[in-house]
Amino acid sequence: MKRPIGMLDSGVGGLTVVRELMRQLPKEKIIYIGDTLRCPYGPRPFEEVRKFTWELVRFLLTYNIKMLVIACNTATAVVLDELQRSLDIPVVGVIAPGTRAALKVTRSKRIGVIGTKGTIHSDAYQKSLKMIDNYVYVKSVACPDFVPIVERGDFHKKQTFEIVKKNLLPFQFEEIDTLILGCTHYPLLQKQIQKAMGRRVTLINSGEETGRELSTILQYSNLLNIYALEGKHKFFTTGDAAMFEKIASQWLDEKNYVTQQIRLE
């Protein structure tokens, strides 16, 4: 089916999921919206995250999307269930795929989760992990400093590593062997996070896992596009298109997209 896949995030973070989708399903067309203007969502009250997410969803629905990907952990934690109940297309979030991947990898069953304040306070990962395995130990830590660094494109600045290290200090004596990057912005800081945690800890990029899950769902629901990709992917941002484009070009291997600033009414 030629209809596009809709994806949303509070900003550029969802591009970590886009990259996987482009790699794993190169014939699928993506319509992405990042609410950069109102990013971060992490510290906002749940009701506000819910309202903003619905605005993004309504925008994407005007593109006749065949599937919706909530490429934002915070929005997944707050509105996924409601969206799945309300829409008549498949709606996929990023928390369940990250959970499954972590449980596959861990040996000690001591798992760390990092995310925005919203995601961590919602306890969504803890619940999702415990639902599958009651004996798993979960240590969750909010890292509110990370998203602004990523949105500014400051990945390579020297002080970034110091900030990352400081935020991860609560894991120092926890002896976890797996760490879930429970925010789609965080894989852009993967190198620094890995360095701070040490080589023995496996990082789980929920975006990567979600990419895998999407192929299965599209195939299962008979929604795969079997024709060649026509035209370009479309990336919309409510913020500065040049900044968005700069981060997209650093992160994505392909250049087959157009970026446009929009205003949500």
CA distance 227 to 28: 9
Should residue 13 be labelled a site residue for ligand DGL when binding is judged by CB under 6 A? Answer: yes
Question: Does 20 engage in binding with ligand DGL (CB under 6 A)?
Answer: no
Determine whether 143 is an active site residue.
Answer: no
Q: In what order do the strands lie in the sheet with 202-205?
A: 137-142, 110-115, 178-181, 202-205
First to last CA, the chain: 30
Could you say which residues in the range 107-146 bind ligand DGL, by CB under 6 A? 116, 119
Q: Out of 4, 5, 6, 10, which residue is the one contacting ligand DGL (CB under 6 A)?
A: 10
| Catalytic-role residue among 18, 69, 70, 72 | 72
Query: Among this protein's residues, is 39 annotated catalytic?
Result: no
Kindly state whether residue 184 participates in binding ligand DGL, applying the rule CB under 6 A. yes
The Cα–Cα gap between 55 and 57 comes to: 5
State how far the alpha carbon of 9 is from the alpha carbons of 29, 119, 181, 228, in Å. 17, 14, 15, 27
Q: 114, 183, 214, 248: which one contacts ligand DGL (CB under 6 A)?
A: 183
42 near ligand DGL (CB under 6 A): yes
Based on CB atoms, which residue is closest to ligand DGL, 111 or 113?
113
Burial class of residue 1 in the structure, from the number of CB atoms within 10 Å of its CB (0-12 exposed, 13-18 middle, 19+ buried): middle
Least distance in angstroms from the C-beta of 68 to ligand DGL: 15
Catalytic residue among 33, 183, 204, 214: 183
Region of 60-68, 84-92, 178-186, 223-231 interacting with ligand DGL (CB under 6 A): 178-186
- Determine, following the binding rule CB under 6 A, whether residue 97 of this chain makes contact with ligand DGL: no
Q: Minimal distance in Å, beta carbon 169 to ligand DGL?
A: 21
- Minimum gap (Å) between residue 9 Cβ and ligand DGL: 5
Nearer to ligand DGL, 97 or 225 (CB): 97
Residues in CB range of 49: below 8 A, 6 or more apart: 41, 74, 75, 78, 79, 118
In 3D space, the residue among 156, 118, 132, 93 whose CA is nearest the CA of residue 40 turns out to be 118
Residue 168: how many CB atoms within 10 A of its CB?
Answer: 19
Q: State both tokens at 231.
A: 């035209």
- Whether the Cβ atoms of residue 15 and residue 251 lie closer than 8 Å to each other: yes
Residues with catalytic function? 72, 183
Query: Which residues are near ligand DGL by CB under 6 A?
Result: 9-11, 13, 39-42, 72-74, 116, 119, 147, 183-185
